[in-house]
Amino acid sequence: MATPTYVTYIADYYTYVMIIVGLLGFLLGIDRILKKREEENKVLQALSFIGGLLMLAVPILLIYYIDTPGVYSNYTILLMLITGLSLNSRPFEKIPAAFAFVIIIAMGIIYMVWNLRTNKGIGGDIPIELVAVIIGGIVLVLFLLSYAFEQIMDVFLYMMGWGVFVGLVSALTLAQGVAIIVLKNHYGLLTYLGFS
């Protein structure tokens, strides 16, 4: 598979993206520490959201397309993903995952039952009322399970969105980007721990 041109640009300049997004995230972390949620800078939030999406997309592109050793390290990829999640944790909190998950599953079950009944397969002899009750029970159980899981995810995302966490992870990303450029080594800060 040939590597697209934009991916080679990303491979060449991802450290600069790390520096810019790290700086934005650091500023957002300070803003979150000093201000209430309602008073945070909206422009900084929007820029950090876009930067967070970049921090989630760039590692995926690097892993998928770049197989040349020495372009990036696993530590850098992990750091970029954590930074992306922390910058986007508050917007991700607002997505009702349980509802969407259950609706998709329910539609799949309904389609499967409808398909079986119209083809006179397994469910052809079962009364539709019983099928509706069974589907309702499955959807209710799925909703309760996914709601509980969503509560756990909301707590996790809430903690990742704390100003101190966002600031520290972003500062680390910024420092890693600078270290990769200055040391000309894809391990960056890990070089000081003996990696090379």
Q: Which long-range contacts (CB under 8 A, 24 or more apart) does 100-105 make?
A: 101/142, 101/146, 102/139, 102/142, 102/143, 102/146, 105/138, 105/139, 105/142
Neighbouring residues of 58: CB distance < 8 A, sequence distance ≥ 6: 10, 14, 17, 80
pLDDT score of 131:
65
pLDDT at 39: 79
Distances 45 to 32, 41, 167, 169 between C-alpha atoms, Å: 10, 6, 13, 16
Q: Is 53 exposed, middle or buried (0-12, 13-18, 19+ CB in 10 A)?
A: middle
In the predicted model, residues of the chain with pLDDT beneath 70 are: 1-4, 7, 67-68, 95-132, 195-196
| End-to-end Cα separation, the chain, in angstroms | 29
CB count, 10 Å around CB of 20? 16
- Model pTM? 0.69
- Rounded CA-CA distance 97/3 in Å is 34
**What was the pLDDT predicted at 19?**
93
Nearest to 151 by CA among 103, 98, 104, 106: 98
- The pLDDT assigned to 101 comes to 62
Determine the pLDDT at residue 50. 93
| pLDDT at residue 86 in the model | 86
* pLDDT, position 26: 93
Q: From the CA atom positions of the chain, what is the Rg in Å?
A: 23
pLDDT of amino acid 59: 83
